[in-house]
Amino acid sequence: MDGKLVAGEVKKQVAQQVQQLEKHGTKPLLATVQVGDDPASASYLKAKHKAADEVGIRSESHHLPADTSQDKLEALLGQLNTNPKVNGILVQLPLPPGFNEEKVIERIIPYKDVDGLHPINAGKLASGYEALVPCTPKGVIKLLNYYKIQVALWVDPLPIFSSTETRPLPSATPRHLTFQG
């Protein structure tokens, strides 16, 4: 399997979708937020900005010092949420110690949450509704579909993870999933 080949195909499709949006007056804008100076996070975000540029998506970076307060970070997210030019928001995780990541994620309007981590997006996904899918599993599914690889697996009740507890998803029952191209 050639992941770079599949990624190139996906980028072509996204670039075409961006062109269609622009024909209708929408110029997509991704806002990224990094708190602190973690080199791996900076590298990851640099790659996201480059990938956005390659498909015609504008991007802007918001870099806050590690000692930024939770309130200041949430205020920035409030501004990005209400900015009609911003179509997507990505907060780079993990945040430095002392931040409540769950509260930060919940502060992003679900339709601007490009990682699909907001509880509403995660709930829709877990319930089988069309929703924003986190990029890594979506990439794996794209790769499998591209090569027409069928995968069947048995899924036990999905656990919900939080910083304080893990519990089974209340409405989840074991089910059989098949991914096919």
**Tens-digit pLDDT profile for residues 106-137:** 999 999 999 999 999 888 887 877 777 788 87
116 in a domain, yes or no?
yes
**Shared domain check, 120 and 35:** yes
Alpha carbon distance 63, 157 (integer Å): 38
**Shared domain check, 152 and 109:** no
Listed residues 133, 152, 172: the one ending a domain: 133
Residue pLDDT, tens place only, 34-80: 999 999 999 999 999 999 999 999 999 999 999 999 999 999 999 99
Integer Rg of the chain from CA: 18
Are 140 and 128 in contact by the 8 Å Cβ rule? The answer is no
Q: Enumerate the β-bridge partners of residue 160.
A: 167
Q: Which domain holds residue 142?
A: 134-181
**Shared domain check, 122 and 47:** yes
* Structural domain total, the chain: 2
109 in a domain, yes or no?
yes
11 in a domain, yes or no?
no
Alpha carbon distance 55, 138 (integer Å): 18
Q: Is 136 helix (H, G, I), strand (E, B) or coil?
A: helix
Q: Is 147 helix (H, G, I), strand (E, B) or coil?
A: coil
Cα 33 to chain center, whole Å?
13
Provide the annotated active-site residues: 48, 92, 115
